[in-house]
A and B are shown apart, each in its own frame.
Chain A
Amino acid sequence: MSTSSVLYDHPGPRARIRNNVLSVVFGVGVVALLWWVYSKFDAAGQWEAVLWKPFTEPATWTQFILPGLWATLKAAAVGMVLSLVFGIVFAVGRLSDHWWIKVPAGAVVEFFRAVPLLLMIFFVFYGVPFLIQGPVSAFWAVVVGLTLYNGSVLAEAFRAGIRSVPGGQSEAAYAIGMRKSQVMQLILIPQAARAMLPIIVSQLVVLLKDTALGYIVAYPELLQRGVNDLAANKGNIVAAAMVAAAIYIVINSLLTALAGWLDRRSRTRGLRVPRQTRPAAAADSTPEGGATVSEPQG
């Protein structure tokens, strides 16, 4: 609401009437459209009981959807942790003072941001085995692909985040005698992680969604198990896809809501880093962003 008041005045009586009329007209339009879609689906027999009945059977859930969901979450969780690590390492690399760190780090990040994930997963699965002379499982193909791509995006986000920390913060840290690495670890990265939280989480949502590309290497994730395989058994592909979509939407919305909550909380408390009651022990080796952000996936 506070964002909207930037643009327009507090509505007067006429404006309120106009807004209400618009609300009703548009609302009716949307409902009519939904009804039309519903009845067309009905006419096509998409609501027939035989298509939906499988979802009332426990086996559908325990054997298809839940294992698929578990595989999705597993790949996403591992991918998230690795991308955060990758992101922080390469962000710091790109901010290095040494060109021989900065340039290669930049090249890696730019390359992986530009290559479609589909190609990457494909390559890791079919190409890398030739390089390492050994098989790569579908799980790792998906996770490595996700990590390289999302890690690169996060690296850029972190870099922007670190640069968006007001200069005064690092100056104040230098002024009390901190070294560069201390400033990075104690001041810049924690604050960047806070500031970038919304971007980080939306990237994590992207990552979770992208696990769906695992179908290309037959990784048994939600789309593969809950839609393709389930439909092969029950022939209800559209219904199965609707259920899968609903699951994705719910999980991702929860993730987004969690991010919003964390963000609001840190805003109202200044810029608080959770779980930081021990200033002495904080952030010695593990970057704090990693632990806090990926928590919900566990």
Chain B
Amino acid sequence: GGDSGTGSGGSGASGIVGKAEGQKKLVIGVKADQPGLGLQTGSQYEGFDVEIAKIIAKGLGVEEGNIEWKTTVSANREPFIQQGTVDLVVATYTINDERKQKINFAGPYFIAGQDLLVKADSTITGPEQLEGKKVCSVSGSTPAKRMQTEYPKAQLQQFDAYSKCLPLLENGQVDAVTTDDIILAGYAAQDQYAGKFKVVGKTFSEEPYGIGLKKEDKTGCEKINEILKAAASDGSYKAAWDKTLGKSGKAAPELDTTKLTNCGSV
């Protein structure tokens, strides 16, 4: 699949806006293994990220049926964008300067924060207590990197998916699982873990989730930001939340449209 975007420059017509207009199709990368955000259930994908992606596609004039979903993992998001494998990435994608070197970010559409998932009866209340403890995360992800640099005294167990961390937490081989709070909330809410875990609730970072696209595609980025602004005001943003993460009872956050990126303009 994905013959999109090759050689798309900064001018509007050849970026995602151009593609959406011309081909009425988009390839969007989402996570496949994160309950509540991007979870592949059979042939469908569901979650908040997926809903946001649908809103954007709609804003660009692409029908839901014409979206080609692609599974991405944390490690392959930049390459996917750079190589044109996908047009957009909406996959718990933290905006940071390092990544901005390679790609462009629209959004953020949500501000998450790194947090800890521990056993329901655990006494751990924050990352300071992790010294000498074992913590599980996903290799290549921002939370894993932050653990390594900021809390090097904790022992870090890395896997390719968070789903592998949970049985370890359950059996006591690791003391905590760390990543963004809403991802953790998604797992904690799963049936088979109900009541066993808790999210500590003390975030120790700010993770603004952005929408990744080609570095040159400034037009596309600006267009997406406009779509997000519209979504915040017309209620579709809240609807997306309520349909997914909102089910855990957490109220929909405000989408702060003043914080949207400048799409790389100096």
Do A and B interact directly, with beta carbons closer than 8 Å? yes
**Which residues of A are interface residues toward B (Cβ below 8 A)?**
44, 50-51, 59, 62-64, 67, 125-126, 129-130, 133-137, 215-218, 220, 228-229, 231-238
State whether the Cβ of B41 lies closer than 8 Å to any Cβ in chain A.
yes
- Residue interface mask B1-21, A partner, CB < 8 A = 1: 110001100000000000000
A133 to B79, CA, bound (A): 12
- Residue interface mask B155-181, A partner, CB < 8 A = 1: 000001111101100010000000000
Which partner residue on chain B sits nearest A220 by CB separation?
B71
Within 8 A of A (CB), among B223-262: none
Asked whether A135 lies within 8 Å of B35 as measured between CB atoms, the reply is: no
Whether A133 touches B6, Cβ cut-off 8 Å, given contacts A64-B42, A235-B190, A238-B167, is yes
State whether the Cβ of B219 lies closer than 8 Å to any Cβ in chain A.
no
A129: which B residues are within 8 A, CB to CB? 79, 82-85
State whether the Cβ of B118 lies closer than 8 Å to any Cβ in chain A.
no
Within 8 A of A (CB), among B59-110: 71-73, 76, 79-80, 82-85
Query: Given contacts A133-B6, A235-B167, could you give 11 more A-B pairs where the C-beta distance is less than 8 Å?
Result: A50-B191, A50-B192, A63-B41, A126-B79, A134-B6, A135-B2, A218-B32, A228-B161, A229-B33, A235-B190, A237-B167
State whether the Cβ of B39 lies closer than 8 Å to any Cβ in chain A.
yes
| Number of chain B residues whose Cβ lies closer than 8 Å to a Cβ of chain A | 35
A218: which B residues are within 8 A, CB to CB? 32, 71-73, 76
Asked whether A233 lies within 8 Å of B79 as measured between CB atoms, the reply is: no
Specify which of B41, B71, B84, B171 is in contact with A135 (CB 8 Å cutoff).
Answer: B84
State whether the Cβ of B141 lies closer than 8 Å to any Cβ in chain A.
no
Which partner residue on chain A sits nearest B31 by CB separation?
A232
Whether A51 touches B73, Cβ cut-off 8 Å, given contacts A126-B79, A232-B161, A237-B167, is no
State whether the Cβ of B43 lies closer than 8 Å to any Cβ in chain A.
yes
State whether the Cβ of B203 lies closer than 8 Å to any Cβ in chain A.
no
Q: Least Cβ distance of B69 to chain A in Å? A: 11
Asked whether B39 lies within 8 Å of A233 as measured between CB atoms, the reply is: yes
State whether the Cβ of B40 lies closer than 8 Å to any Cβ in chain A.
yes
A125: which B residues are within 8 A, CB to CB? 76, 79
B73: which A residues are within 8 A, CB to CB? 218
Q: Least Cβ distance of A64 to chain B in Å? A: 7
State whether the Cβ of B34 lies closer than 8 Å to any Cβ in chain A.
yes
Which partner residue on chain B sits nearest A137 by CB separation?
B1
B85: which A residues are within 8 A, CB to CB? 129, 135-137
Asked whether B32 lies within 8 Å of A232 as measured between CB atoms, the reply is: yes
A48 to B11, CA, bound (A): 58
A59: which B residues are within 8 A, CB to CB? 42
Which partner residue on chain B sits nearest A135 by CB separation?
B85
Whether A63 touches B43, Cβ cut-off 8 Å, given contacts A228-B33, A237-B167, is yes
B41: which A residues are within 8 A, CB to CB? 63, 233
Give the 4 A-B CB pairs with smallest separation, nearest first: A63-B42, A232-B33, A129-B83, A235-B192
Asked whether B76 lies within 8 Å of A126 as measured between CB atoms, the reply is: yes
A62 to B42, CA, bound (A): 8
A51: which B residues are within 8 A, CB to CB? 192
Which partner residue on chain B sits nearest A228 by CB separation?
B161
Most B CB atoms within 10 A — which of A67, A134, A216? Answer: A134
Asked whether B163 lies within 8 Å of A231 as measured between CB atoms, the reply is: yes
A134: which B residues are within 8 A, CB to CB? 6, 83-84
Asked whether A217 lies within 8 Å of B35 as measured between CB atoms, the reply is: no
Asked whether B84 lies within 8 Å of A237 as measured between CB atoms, the reply is: no
Asked whether A217 lies within 8 Å of B1 as measured between CB atoms, the reply is: no
Asked whether B1 lies within 8 Å of A229 as measured between CB atoms, the reply is: no
Specify which of B39, B43, B82, B83 is in contact with A232 (CB 8 Å cutoff).
Answer: B39
A70 to B41, CA, bound (A): 17
Q: Least Cβ distance of B160 to chain A in Å? A: 7
Asked whether A137 lies within 8 Å of B160 as measured between CB atoms, the reply is: no
A228 to B31, CA, bound (A): 12
Q: Least Cβ distance of A186 to chain B in Å? A: 43
A215: which B residues are within 8 A, CB to CB? 160
Most B CB atoms within 10 A — which of A135, A216, A233, A237? Answer: A135
Which partner residue on chain A sits nearest B7 by CB separation?
A133
Q: Least Cβ distance of A77 to chain B in Å? A: 20
Q: Least Cβ distance of B225 to chain A in Å? A: 26
B7: which A residues are within 8 A, CB to CB? 133
Q: Least Cβ distance of A242 to chain B in Å? A: 13
Asked whether B164 lies within 8 Å of A237 as measured between CB atoms, the reply is: yes
Most A CB atoms within 10 A — which of B41, B171, B190? Answer: B41
B79: which A residues are within 8 A, CB to CB? 125-126, 129
A168 to B193, CA, bound (A): 69
Whether A229 touches B6, Cβ cut-off 8 Å, given contacts A63-B43, A218-B76, A237-B164, is no
Q: Least Cβ distance of A188 to chain B in Å? A: 42
Q: What are 10 A-B contacts with C-beta separation under 8 Å?
A: A51-B192, A125-B76, A135-B80, A137-B85, A218-B71, A232-B32, A234-B192, A235-B192, A236-B192, A238-B167
